[in-house]
Amino acid sequence: MPRRFTLCHTADWHLGHALHGRSREAEHAAFFTWLIELLERQRVDALVIAGDVFDSASPSGAAQAQLFELLAALRARCPAIDVVIVAGNHDSPSRLAAPDPVLRSLRVRIVGAVPWVGRGRDQRIDPEPLVVPLHADGEVAAWALAVPYLRACDLPALDPDAGEEDPAARIARGARRVYDEVAAHARTVRRDDQALIVTGHCHVAGAAVSDGSERPVIGGVAGALPRSVFPEDATYVALGHLHLAQEVRAQEVRAQEVRAQEVAGPDVRYSGSPIPLALGEESYPHEVRLVTFEGARIVAQAGHRVPRSVAILRVPKSGPAPIDEALAALRALEDDEVVRAARGAPENRWPWVEARVRLERAEPALRARVDEALAGLPVRLVKLTVEQARTGSSPGTEEGASLRELAELDVREVFLRRWALEQEGEPPADVLAAFDEVRAAVVGTESGP
């Protein structure tokens, strides 16, 4: 009889994250408490964290302590669980994987980068560290292909003169080779009745990307990996990088729960992030995904919604409003159910508030008026968004356009706007690819995808 095995798929924790300069430590702590209870209650056999464990390549001591405290608590409550962690683009591969030799004794495996052996033409991928056994009732029930975020240095040497192939296509070809070589090794140890679970931290074509939050950059080049890079005999592909929980099937995206689904090819999914990492993600259905296998077949799966420990209130809900209307909406929070529930709660559980105001003219006392409207309420003002409309210009002109704060613009958007002002039109593909490569090189230490 096929062995039953349950996996928990999560990603994009971004420990150490700050929401406009404000710590999220309390929210992560609440998530961890809930997660451990879920894993224990559901008798989960393995936990896979598909990248971006930390928000920065140089995480603070507090952020690292949160991870290790979670792993210690998890080992005490769920002693038989296997844990697989792979690096994302925000993580430092070497820093994340540094404790791996010690944590292996606790059934925790961490993969920061693709290992290579040999030199020159003899250089090749060493797949063995990336193929991890996962257990149920003391027996191997599945295998994980623990592939991290693929940086340019993780990919096989590519022929730059390969026909008319564009850079993104060459990167996709290199990524496919990595997955093929690791899968080939897995086939030498895997039985037909054991599930094959593949990890990745990337943007896959067909997935929904939130506006301005994540960018399709792979190996330093703009673009998205085709779904076909993953092994056809994989049972489930556990992805990270995009913060919206969703399924990716061909060019179709579905974000709803699916149970007992049997289709050709692997089930490819993003678990999404467990907490909103930007104000614009407030409406996301943040979850972790539990997948149950019998042998090499998925028999049930569902997204388990993460309780929102700290609410995000964007006021007014409809967007920036004239100052009197916006202030009235802020004062009305006194009767808001979420705000009323926060009375008596610790300050680190008070809702985050974004005040959204549209001004026709300068308002020097705006911040003071907003603070006055919120005085005495158990909320924390995390951002004051001001939209200013200049008058006397034709619609569509730069002078008549709505102005957003520079901090709201993505770096790539700033580059494109500056290019349009100075050069006219859009930058050539090679220039844009070069910009994306530079941006990807530093994104691990800054807020970005």
Say if 188 falls within a structural domain.
Answer: yes
pLDDT in tens, 205-221: 888 876 555 655 555 44
Residue-level pLDDT at 287: 97
CA-CA-CA-CA torsion sign (318, 384, 341, 375): negative
pLDDT in tens, 85-123: 999 999 999 999 999 999 999 999 999 999 998 877 777
**Do 144 and 254 share a domain, yes or no?**
yes
Q: Are 448 and 409 contacting, i.e. CB atoms less than 8 angstroms apart?
A: no
Q: Are 329 and 372 contacting, i.e. CB atoms less than 8 angstroms apart?
A: no
Residue tagged 């490569």 (tokens): 437
Buried b or exposed e, range 272-299, using 16+ CB within 10 angstroms: bbbbbbbbbbeebebbbbbbbbbbbebb
Coil, strand or helix at 394? coil
For residue 284, what pLDDT band results from cuts at 50, 70 and 90? very high
Question: What mean pLDDT value characterizes the chain?
Answer: 86
**Do 184 and 239 share a domain, yes or no?**
yes
Count of the separate structural domains present in the chain: 2
The DSSP code for 54 is: B
**Do 291 and 391 share a domain, yes or no?**
no
Is the model's pLDDT at 292 over the cut of 90? yes
Say if 421 falls within a structural domain.
Answer: no
**Do 258 and 375 share a domain, yes or no?**
no
pTM of the model: 0.83
**Do 230 and 341 share a domain, yes or no?**
no
List, in sequence order, every residue forming a beta bridge with 131; answer none if it has no partner: 145
**Do 301 and 318 share a domain, yes or no?**
no
Say if 431 falls within a structural domain.
Answer: no
**Do 27 and 95 share a domain, yes or no?**
yes
Say if 218 falls within a structural domain.
Answer: yes
Say if 420 falls within a structural domain.
Answer: no
Q: Which amino acid is at 414?
A: V
Extract the tokens encoding 58.
């140089």
Residue-level pLDDT at 311: 97
CATH number of domain containing 254: 3.60.21.10
Is the model's pLDDT at 348 over the cut of 90? yes
Structural domain boundaries, residue 157: 4-305
